[in-house]
Amino acid sequence: MILEVESTKKHYYKATDPNDPLDIAVADVLNSLQCPVLVEIERVATGEYLVDRRLKLRVVNGDVVIRIGANYELFSNYLRNLYAPFFIDESNRLDTSIDKLTVCVFLIILLAFIYHFITVC
């Protein structure tokens, strides 16, 4: 893959071999993924790419897939799992107002327990 970085710092991937449909599809997957960090990928042979290890990719029903055991997984899902720490999922983000409320309630309960312990002893 050839990487071209635009002035907005968004990563743009371009197929190494513009005549290879798989290479074009891999570039499309990388561009649609919108990973906030650079995805390190290198084409080592036709249908073989080096990401975190050597991967054999192919196109099945218009999707780029990787063989995992006896099954196929979408290449985009594989990359999302590999680069998961860099993706921010809004549904899993903690609401800071709830966190502050939880801390306040905990502190009130703790102070009540300490007060009760001091007055009893």
The full set of domains in the chain, from first to last, is 2-88 (3.30.920.20)
Write down the pLDDT at residue 109: 86
**Range list of H helices, 1-121:** 21-33, 75-82, 96-120
pLDDT level of residue 117 (50, 70, 90 thresholds): confident
The answer, as to whether pTM is greater than 0.75, is: no
46 or 88, greater pLDDT: 46
For residues 17 and 75, give the distance between their C-alpha atoms in angstroms, rounded to a whole number.
19
Return phi, psi of residue 85, to 5°: -60, -20
42, 50 contact by CB (below 8 A): yes
97 or 99, greater pLDDT: 99
Write down the pLDDT at residue 99: 66
